[in-house]
Chains A and B, each alone.
Chain A
């Protein structure tokens, strides 16, 4: 079993829909990262969370430390949101561990 699990693996949506991507992890962490990767390879860090909730524009990330679970929400989705979203966790004095990613396609 992977230490970081994401669901769903693939997600399609119509423009304007509300989207949720989930991340569960099985280890104690110091922080959780949500990353976005567009075709072509470059990765952008969207959020870094250690507790609670963060919001940036149409993106919201939440984390529940007790349940070892985080969600990334996209409100009013747009085709430019189409990308792979990757959850990664960091632990003190240890390497980053990545989920397998969620491929999102938003159609007009």
Chain B
């Protein structure tokens, strides 16, 4: 079945450091890929998405590129801020499988001033 694997956290960085959170997936078809972010005490919200191979999703300085050859969708940001501290979830929606989105376990990011 479909699955999403994320790197374990927490990821702890200083402000202005470069961020990478790894995400790989397994799917039967050609899924859409998503990154959601959850700030403390809140629900999840969509950060960015990509719907086909080589697409790059971007939002708020975050980027992720849909790599079909490596089945990956790594999240990157060139310079993190304290306000980026949150939990980040990689997810997929696979038209070839269930329409229920599949989430990774989440990666906590802690940014220190």
A binds B: no
The residues of A with any CB-CB pair to B shorter than 8 Å are: none
Spell out B's residues near A (CB within 8 Å). none
